[in-house]
């Protein structure tokens, strides 16, 4: 179970639907990811947050360096091994991939009627290589696309997701309905921001909202009032329950919001939480 911290103070601010929590949703793409479905999810999220959409394609420097080695080979999706690869072939692959991703980003943004931009960088697929700000929500994939049959590996983005101080949405794959669930593990400003963000996502996306609370020290009435400041209709239907292993297991198909303030959940607690749910998880950091 994730670490639970009681905290002090209630959730007594008054958010409005016009307050922007994020100004950009940034989707990080590379040659090992699914990308298209993630871009569509990021565009949908940008609509809910009234934010712009920004795509970044990372040309993996390590893959480029590997192609210079004489024993490097390409393994196909079904496990077949093709001829050796070289750096010009990798450069051509990067260019073609970037063109496809840019086209998918433009299509998704136009469909959702959100502003969009796109960049290409050369480096490592890690959060530290990206130039993103405090008002950006980074979207990454948890696993690579299938190769050698159905085998998937953890994405390289995942390795640093638990250490960053930026807000990150971790996509787990699957046909998610994206009902909204928020884990309320503390009182105070970070809990207020968590509940407000969850309420705005639910209200804008016309999704249900569930608040899972850690224990009796949590100001549940204050949490419901925070939801009501965003939408009275949503507050009236908002479900409130306890954080349990069963409740976390039942979040599959949802968008799960978690307070990633180190005083509430450290890196170990976030990893433990991730092992107990198959939901897409938004690790929310304070600005």
* 147-202 residue pLDDT tens: 545 555 667 778 777 877 889 999 987 656 679 999 999 999 999 999 999 999 99
Record the pTM. Answer: 0.84
From start to end of 24-70, where are the E strands? 24-29, 52-60
Q: pLDDT class for 126, splitting at 50, 70, 90?
A: confident
Residue 134: which residues within 8 A CB-CB, separation 6 or more? Answer: 166, 287
Half-sphere exposure of 233 (CA within 13 A, CB side): 7
pLDDT the model gives residue 42? 95
Using CA atoms, how far residue 121 sits from 30, 103, 153, in Å, is 10, 17, 23
Residue 58 CB partners (closer than 8 Å, separation 6+): 28, 29, 30, 121, 122, 123, 124, 125, 129
What would you report as the CA-atom Rg of the chain, rounded to the nearest whole angstrom?
20
Pairwise CA distance, residues 27 & 156, whole Å: 14
116-123/136-141 β-pairing: unpaired
- pLDDT score of 218: 95
pLDDT of residue 8: 39
Indicate the range of 20-24, 95-99, 143-147, 174-178 predicted with least confidence: 143-147
Assigned token pair, 88? 């010009």
Q: How many CB atoms lie within 10 A of CB 260?
A: 27
Question: What is the spatial distance between Cα 52 and Cα 115, in angstroms, rounded to a whole number?
Answer: 5
CA–CA gap between residue 136 and residue 256 (Å, rounded): 18
Strands 254-259 and 239-242: unpaired
At 7, is the pLDDT very low, low, confident or very high (cuts 50, 70, 90)? very low
**Mean pLDDT (whole number) for 201-219:** 96
Task: Over range 124-144, report the average pLDDT.
Answer: 83
**Residue 247, pLDDT score:** 96
């Amino acid at each position: 179970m994730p670490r639970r911290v009681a905290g002090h103070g209630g959730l007594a601010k008054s958010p409005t639907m016009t307050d922007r929590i994020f100004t950009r949703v940034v989707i990080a793409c590379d040659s090992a990811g699914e990308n298209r479905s993630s871009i569509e999810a990021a565009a949908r999220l940008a609509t809910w947050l009234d934010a712009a959409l920004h795509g970044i394609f990372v040309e993996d420097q390590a893959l480029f360096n590997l192609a210079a080695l004489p024993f490097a080979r390409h393994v196909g999706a079904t496990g077949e091994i093709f001829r050796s690869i070289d750096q010009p072939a990798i450069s051509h692959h990067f260019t073609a991939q970037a063109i496809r991703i840019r086209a998918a980003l433009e299509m998704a943004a136009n469909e959702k009627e959100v502003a969009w931009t796109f960049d290409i960088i050369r480096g490592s697929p890690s959060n530290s290589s990206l130039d993103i700000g405090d008002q950006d929500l980074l979207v990454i994939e948890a696993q690579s696309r299938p190769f050698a049959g159905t085998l998937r590996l953890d994405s390289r983005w995942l390795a640093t997701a638990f250490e960053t101080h930026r807000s990150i949405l971790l996509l787990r794959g699957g046909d998610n309905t994206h009902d909204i669930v928020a884990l309320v593990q503390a009182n105070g400003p970070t809990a207020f921001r968590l509940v407000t963000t969850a309420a705005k996502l639910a209200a804008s996306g016309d999704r249900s909202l569930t608040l899972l609370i850690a224990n009796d020290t949590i100001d549940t009435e204050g949490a419901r009032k925070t939801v009501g400041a965003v939408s009275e209709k949503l507050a009236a239907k908002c479900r409130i329950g306890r954080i349990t292993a069963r409740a976390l297991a039942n979040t599959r198909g949802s968008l799960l919001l978690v307070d990633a303030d180190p005083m509430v959940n450290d890196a170990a607690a976030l990893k433990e939480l991730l092992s107990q749910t198959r939901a897409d998880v938004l690790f929310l950091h304070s600005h």
